[in-house]
């Protein structure tokens, strides 16, 4: 016997979206940072090579998180020695790209809070202003 089920939309929200690179070397540091800095908060997590390097792709993910989960915060993470950036992986380039991403997100979603971090190989998080 075949039973039809009706799917109902259930409202569910979360606090933030976190966007980072996929590089395995940094996942432990990211997890520890989240546990320390976002206790009891919920978040969508996007791992993409180069983090915000392909900004249009990441903006699509942020759009979905805003639409489906009504997020309030965006955390964008870049890291030292990013293979997706190759020889362009300098602290200055990452800071520039992170700032551009924040500006682009805030232009579309001015009520969001956007935090930027550059992660060093030793796991230190440097906040980018």
| List of domains in the chain | 16-127 (3.40.1050.10)
Burial of 10 from C-beta contacts in 10 A (0-12 / 13-18 / 19+): exposed
Phi/psi at 106 (5° precision): -70, -25
Burial of 2 from C-beta contacts in 10 A (0-12 / 13-18 / 19+): exposed
Centre a 10 Å sphere on the Cβ of residue 13 and count the other Cβ atoms it contains. Answer: 10
Burial of 39 from C-beta contacts in 10 A (0-12 / 13-18 / 19+): exposed
Q: Which pLDDT belongs to residue 6? A: 40
Interval 23-73: pLDDT, tens: 999 999 999 999 999 999 999 999 999 999 999 999 999 999 999 999 999
| Angle 110-58-121 from CA coordinates, rounded to 5° | 105
pTM over 0.75: yes
Q: Given pLDDT bands bounded at 50, 70 and 90, which one contains residue 12? A: confident
CB 31 within 8 A of CB 38: no
């Amino acid at each position: 016997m075949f039973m039809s089920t009706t799917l109902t939309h259930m409202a569910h929200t979360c606090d933030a979206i976190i966007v980072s690179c996929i590089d395995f070397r940094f996942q432990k540091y990211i997890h520890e940072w989240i546990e320390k800095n976002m206790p009891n908060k919920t978040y969508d997590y996007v791992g993409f090579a180069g983090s915000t390097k392909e900004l249009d792709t990441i903006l699509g993910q942020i759009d979905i998180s805003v639409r489906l989960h009504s997020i309030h915060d965006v955390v964008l993470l870049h890291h030292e020695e990013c293979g997706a950036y190759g020889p362009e992986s300098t602290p200055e380039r990452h800071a520039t790209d992170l700032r551009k991403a924040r500006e682009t997100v805030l232009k579309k979603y001015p009520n969001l809070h956007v935090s930027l971090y550059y992660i060093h190989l030793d796991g230190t998080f440097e906040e980018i202003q």
